[in-house]
Amino acid sequence: MVHPLKNWQKVKRGYKFGVKTFYSSHHLGVDYIVSEGTPIYAPVDCQIIKSGNFSQGGNTIHVTFNDLEHGKLIIRYMHLSKLFPKGDYNEGCILGYTGNTGKYTKGPHLHLDLSKEKVVIKDFKNFIDPDKYFTEMEILGKYKLKKVRNLINRVVLCQNSAGELVVFKRARGDECIMAFLVNELANDYNSKFSSLQLPTYNTIDKKDNIVIMPFYDGKNYIESWNSDGLYGGKYMKLELVKEIVQVIRDFSKIDTNKVIEYLTEHQIVNFQFDFEEWKKQFINNAKFFLENDFISQKEFHKANKLFGNGFKKSKLIFNNGDYYPRNILSYKGKIVVIDWQTWNGNYRANIIDYIENVAAFAFIHMWNNHLWQIEFLKELRKYFKINFKCLRNAILIKSFEQANFWRNNPGSKKQLFIFKNILDDNYIKQLEKDTRPSLINRILRIVKIIS
């Protein structure tokens, strides 16, 4: 795909998409300030379906083509000095020349707008920002990809030149570093895991901060967990209870020293959970919740007292930091964990963290499914010798961090509800009792350790 104007990114803009103009509340396209007689081109193989003179836009052509994401798209080129007739045109063909025709012009320029299916002037939502669209198409074109649809923020499902579906992501710098690491770990460990499958990457471009990976077309849990966070796993029943625990077991097989060495070499800092530093941060962040009466002084002091227990004899493991049902896929009998980044010292999520913290992160995100939380901790304690005081600390830490992260989100109150429950000694005694592994499971775990 090519842009209708050469060197278009350097061209001065007049009215941009969506701004108020002297004749409308929302500008439907972009005005490119170019001299009269500048050639305009066909962006792809296309068809001119309308070509003529109109009072407002002057000499105008309507060009239509098919887009994998939107279906039929229509581009309007306005104020032309010369236009070409209806018919089929190949990518890169000249379709006309810019000018200064029509009522709504104050000098030579090209008005270009882009709409879905048909041109409905009063339906602003049916129009697409041409600058954003062509910027994205230009980037995808560099990697010979065609866009199919957006998945989530910065992540696009595409089709490559072989017709295969791939996932294209505009990564941050640390995400490219993590992609190299995860690729290496996938080669070393995927065959050794029982449940986990680390993703692999086809392309990692550190210069442009682009990563491309295969499309794992498995079952995702975004909708059943709920993408805006308000359901909190309410409709998941007991899905993924055993799988998430098995993945934590697989994570624990990875050599953390190798990960730490790699990240240190690439000058990534604060990727490991630091309990002492976190306590200092907690005291500072708690001020907001105390000042707004979201937590009481009594609750704050009790939490601080409990944190004195620390994480004695707990094991640090590698994980993706943001580990909960939304960020995993069931694919060909394995669990693929997605969304890899270093989190830049955000203690809400750390890629080197205590087992209890990793488990707590999954636990707190299922706030609307208490039965799931119980069965999850029961399954966790079946395989790991968990110190329940450490687990209590972990749930307090992660629920507070998530509440702080979601300060302006309704989910913040849900996390504070967990935080307050975990401070309740009676609640924690019942939780410990309800999730205690059976005698037979404890014996089997001891036998496994000895063997």
Give the tens place of pLDDT for each residue, 278-308.
999 999 999 999 999 999 999 999 999 999 8
Return the beta strands (E) in 202-309 as ranges.
203-205, 210-214, 219-220
Look up the pTM and report it. 0.81
Q: Is the pLDDT of residue 447 over 70?
A: no
End-to-end CA distance of the chain: give it in Å, rounded.
62
CA atoms within 13 A on the CB side of 13: 12
CA distances to 33, 58, 77, 121, 360 from 82, in Å? 17, 10, 11, 24, 66
**Arithmetic mean of pLDDT over the chain:** 92
Q: Is the pLDDT of residue 409 over 90?
A: no
What pLDDT score does 442 carry?
A: 54
Between CA 270 and CA 402 the distance in angstroms is 18
Neighbour order of strands in the sheet with 155-159: 146-152, 155-159, 165-170, 210-214, 203-205
What pLDDT score does 222 carry?
A: 85
Between CA 290 and CA 410 the distance in angstroms is 18
Which pLDDT tens digit goes with each residue over 152-173? 778 899 999 999 999 999 888 7
What pLDDT score does 430 carry?
A: 97
For residue 51, what are the β-bridge partners?
A: 61
Which pLDDT tens digit goes with each residue over 231-241? 899 989 999 99
Chain centroid offset of residue 278 CA = 25
Residue 112's pLDDT band, with cuts at 50, 70 and 90, is very high
Q: Letter for the amino acid at 249?
A: R
Q: Is the pLDDT of residue 451 over 80?
A: no
Q: Domain 8-128, what architecture?
A: Distorted Sandwich (2.70)
What pLDDT score does 326 carry?
A: 87
Between CA 304 and CA 174 the distance in angstroms is 33
CA distances to 213, 267, 334, 338 from 190, in Å? 16, 26, 10, 14
| Pairwise pLDDT comparison (443 vs 399), residue with the higher score | 399
In the chain, CATH 2.70.70.10 sits at 8-128
What pLDDT score does 444 carry?
A: 58
Nearest CA to 62 out of 37, 25, 87 is that of 87
What pLDDT score does 249 carry?
A: 98
| Pairwise pLDDT comparison (74 vs 439), residue with the higher score | 74
What pLDDT score does 411 carry?
A: 87
What pLDDT score does 58 carry?
A: 96
270 and 349 Cβ atoms separated by less than 8 Å:
no
For residue 83, what are the β-bridge partners?
A: 96
For residue 94, what are the β-bridge partners?
A: 41
- The yes or no reply on domain 143-215 and CATH 3.40.50 is no
Which CATH number describes the domain made up of 226-450? Answer: 3.90.1200
| Pairwise pLDDT comparison (346 vs 62), residue with the higher score | 62
Which pLDDT tens digit goes with each residue over 69-82? 889 999 999 999 99
In the chain, CATH 3.30.200 sits at 143-215
